[in-house]
Amino acid sequence: KAGVTQTPRYLIKTRGQQVTLSCSPISGHRSVSWYQQTPGQGLQFLFEYFSETQRNKGNFPGRFSGRQFSNSRSEMNVSTLELGDSALYLCASSSKMGGDNEKLFFGSGTQLSVL
Amino acid sequence: GENVEQHPSTLSVQEGDSAVIKCTYSDSASNYFPWYKQELGKGPQLIIDIRSNVGEKKDQRIAVTLNKTAKHFSLHITETQPEDSAVYFCAASNHLSSGSARQLTFGSGTQLTVLP
């Protein structure tokens, strides 16, 4: 079974631009969560989607947004990029089925650098 | 909200020795505590988890203990090997509405180095 797939693996953008990151969850998983990882702030929750609906949102500005498609694939968008948005963006999926629905499985992430 | 503290930030052990990483949490409503291992260039990998109705869980060389009263939990790795070298994160969560995934609050991580 393929794991969580994130594309692209690396991105370089300049301040003020916007960026879209993509995530394909494990087959059969309907929930997708996004986390930001930085050396200073560690791993922080961005938002979570289930059945195309945002179920939960962390404390990030409105420049960070996301969506989920009917096939459970998800995208996150960051508009008006700032230097502080440089980070590893991680996507995690989980299954609704049985007792394992609480386990989050992470992808390898997208490393975003804002210059 | 939840706050998770993790210690130590770095840990070096000799191959074959044991390693212990400790975490404390603030929200008494938290009921799920996973541990993740992150290798360079990869995403966090779930290695073991424990729910609040269990005090200890073991999986081969890895064990996790939970003390709900003191609000702390620990990861124990026995007979460490060089391939155990990585960053380890603890996390806590209390959110689980119907059909929704948990929101994890992570500790700051422990860089474990196993010396051959």
Residues of A in contact with B99 (CB under 8 A): 30-31, 50-51, 96, 101
Alpha helices in A8-101 (DSSP H): none
The C-alpha atoms of residue A112 and residue B104 are separated, in whole angstroms, by: 22
The C-alpha atoms of residue B83 and residue B63 are separated, in whole angstroms, by: 17
| Closest by Cβ to A105, choosing from B41, B46, B103 | B46
The C-alpha atoms of residue A31 and residue A29 are separated, in whole angstroms, by: 6
Residues of B in contact with A87 (CB under 8 A): none
Give the distance from residue B102's alpha carbon to the nearest chain A alpha carbon, in angstroms.
Answer: 6
Structure tokens at A48: 């979570």
CA A112-B3-B7 angle, to 5 degrees, is 85
Quick: pLDDT tens for A7-23. Answer: 999 999 999 999 999 99
Least Cα distance to A90 among A69, A70, A104 occurs for A104
Mean pLDDT of all residues in A18-32: 94
Quick: pLDDT tens for B68-107. Answer: 999 999 999 999 999 999 999 999 987 555 555 668 999 9
The C-alpha atoms of residue A75 and residue B19 are separated, in whole angstroms, by: 38
Query: Within 13 Å, how many C-alpha atoms sit on residue A58's CB side?
Result: 20
What band does A98 get if pLDDT is binned at 50, 70 and 90? very low
CB distance B43–A109 less than 8 Å?
A: yes
Quick: pLDDT tens for B26-85. Answer: 999 888 899 999 999 999 999 999 988 889 999 999 999 999 999 999 999 999 999 999
Number of inter-chain CB pairs under 8 A, A vs B: 71
The DSSP code for B93 is B
Longest dimension (CA), chain A: 44
| Closest by Cβ to A48, choosing from B89, B103, B108 | B103
User: Can you tell me which residue has the tokens 């938002």?
Assistant: A47
Structure tokens at A64: 């960070």
Residues of A in contact with B93 (CB under 8 A): 102
